[in-house]
Amino acid sequence: MITHPFTYRAPSTIEEAVAALGRSRDAKVIAGGHSLLPLMKLGLAQPDALVDLRRIASLRDIRAEADGTIVVGALATHRSIAEDRTIVSKLAALAEAAAAVGDPLVRARGTIGGSLAHADPAADEPAPVLAFDALIRAIGSKGKRDIRAGEYFKAAFETALAPDEIVAEIRFPAQTGRTGSAYVKFAHPASRFAVVGVAATVTLKGDGTVERAAIGVTGAADAPFRAAQAEKAITGTKGDAKAIAAAAAKAAEGITTLSDLVASSDYRRHLVTVYARRALERATQRAQG
């Protein structure tokens, strides 16, 4: 039951949607609605207008561009991302994160754009978005701009988006060379959100040493983050079990971890290291082919 009244419109272009956003004092964009509607039912969000993107069909597409960039439309559902062949083969961590969102019913409607715009600190997809260094393409009244993932997530439910900007697509740069990725998650048993979720990408040189690694962590802190110390520690190593364990142990360095009924701050910190190790192991194995 939603008791707070609002107006609703579903424009057919993103420009109209941006314009509609500007017309209300407290308008919200709705995509799959699986972040927003639960909050509205609880009275925790009380927008006066909803702008529904569902008629903007182009935002649903998942496509590869000529340079290998994979573009995921904001309205792509978690389910369509998890099942997309290109994503499964090229961006395994993203496919695994999308497959780990909520439950099958949530995945059937919830969208990546909605998840990123809502920026729940325990959402899954921010982890691979960070690990793949994706760009979030936003469209607003001043036109379009690309926001680097590392600069996008500001705090819990806070992003770099301006109030009149809409997430249009997420652009994942081409993965080159011997690259593997993985997402692993310790889920909240009831809500299915990530208590800790870690996405790792690992690129190996010809001799098998780690050329580059990126680790995106969600659920653990006020905002998803890159585990920079761990990334540094693994780079240049052989990517063996010992090196991975040593690197993973640094995954929560400098981070203030959250505490709740399911996991205290200490335990979350521990989980970050365990799941960073598991993600790195799997990503490295995949890079090794």
Partner 1 sequence: MTAATTTTYIGARVPRKEDPRLITGDGLFTDDVTLPGMVYVSLVRSPHAHARIRRIDTTAATEEPGVVAVLTGKELEATGALPVFITVPSMNGSKHMPITTDKARYAGDAVAAVVAESRDAAKRAADAVTVDYEPLPVVVDATKALEPGAPIVHEEMKSNLVFTYPVKGGDVDKAFRDADVKVKLRLVNQRLIPNAMEPRAAVAKFEAGELTLWSTTQIPHFVQLIVALNLGLSQNKVRVIAPEVGGGFGSKLQVYAEELIVGHLAKTLGRPVKWTEERREGYLATIHGRDHVSDVELAAKRDGTILGLRVRTVANMGAYLQAFAPGIPTILHVFVVPGAYRIPAFDYEMRGAYTNTTPVDAYRGAGRPESAYVIERAIDRLADEIGMDPAEVRRRNFIPADAFPFNTISGLTYDSGDYAPALERALAMADYKGFEKRRAEAKARGNYRGIGISSYVEICGLAPSKANSALGVGWGGYESARIRVHPTGAVQVFTGTSPHGQSHETSWAQIAADALGITPNDIEVRHGDTFESPGMGVGTFGSRSLAVGGIEVHKAAEKVREKVIQIGAHLLEASPDDMVVEGGKVFVKGVPDKAKNFGDISMAAYLANNLPEGMEPGLEATVYYDPPNFTFPFGTHIAEVEIDGETGAVELVNYSACDDCGRQINPMIVEGQLHGGITQGIGQALYEAAIYDDNGQLLSGSMMEYHVPTAENVPAFKLDHTMTLTTTNPLGVKGIGEAGTIGSTPAVANAVIDALSPLGIKHLDMPFTPEKVWRAIETAGGEGRR
Partner 2 sequence: MGQAITVTINGAKQTKDVEPTQLLVELLRDTLGLTGTHVGCDTSQCGACTVLVDGRATKSCTILAVQTDGAEVVTVEGLAKNGELHPVQRAFASEHALQCGFCTPGLLITAVDFLARNPTPTDSEIRHAIEGNLCRCTGYHNIVNAVRSAAEMMTTTAQPKVAAGVKR
Give the footprint of partner 1 on this chain (CB under 8 A).
Answer: 1, 3, 186, 189-191, 245, 261-264, 267, 270-271, 274
Which of partner 2, partner 1, none does 34 bind, CB closer than 5 to 8 A by kind?
partner 2
- Rounded CA gap, 89 and 180, in Å? 10
Q: What is the DSSP string of 178-217?
A: EEEEEEEEEE-TTT--EEEEEEEEEEE-TTS-EEEEEEEE
Which of partner 1, partner 2, none does 44 bind, CB closer than 5 to 8 A by kind?
none
Measured at the CA of 117, the angle between CA 229 and CA 189, to 5 degrees, comes to 70
Contacts to partner 2 from residues 234-253, by CB under 8 A? none
Q: Which value, to the nearest 10 degrees, does the dihedral of the CA atoms of residues 117, 111, 80, 122 take?
A: 70
For 1-96, list the strands marked E by DSSP. 7-9, 27-30, 49-52, 62-64, 70-73
Residue whose CB is less far from partner 1, 66 or 190: 190
In angstroms, what is the minimal distance from the CB of 110 to partner 2? Answer: 9
Residue 38 binding partner 2, by CB under 8 A: yes
Contacts to partner 2 from residues 96-155, by CB under 8 A? 102-106, 108-109
What burial class does residue 169 get, using C-beta atoms within 10 Å of its C-beta: 0-12 exposed, 13-18 middle, 19+ buried? buried
Q: Spell out, one character per residue from 164 to 203, where the chain touches partner 2: x when CB under 8 A holds, - when not.
A: --------------------------xxx-----------
Asked if 283 and 204 count as a contact pair (C-beta separation under 8 A), the reply is no
Residue whose CB is less far from partner 1, 44 or 66: 44
Alpha carbon of residue 83 to chain centroid: 16
Which of partner 2, partner 1, none does 10 bind, CB closer than 5 to 8 A by kind?
partner 2
In angstroms, what is the minimal distance from the CB of 16 to partner 1? Answer: 30
Alpha carbon of residue 223 to chain centroid: 11
Residue 6 binding partner 2, by CB under 8 A: yes
Residue 262 binding partner 2, by CB under 8 A: no
- Rounded CA gap, 137 and 80, in Å? 19
Asked if 101 and 94 count as a contact pair (C-beta separation under 8 A), the reply is no
In angstroms, what is the minimal distance from the CB of 197 to partner 1? Answer: 14
Residue 50 binding partner 2, by CB under 8 A: yes
Residue whose CB is less far from partner 1, 130 or 276: 276
In angstroms, what is the minimal distance from the CB of 78 to partner 2? Answer: 12
- Rounded CA gap, 202 and 132, in Å? 10
Note the residues at the interface with partner 2 (CB under 8 A): 1-8, 10, 30, 33-34, 37-38, 41-42, 50, 52, 54, 79, 102-106, 108-109, 190-192
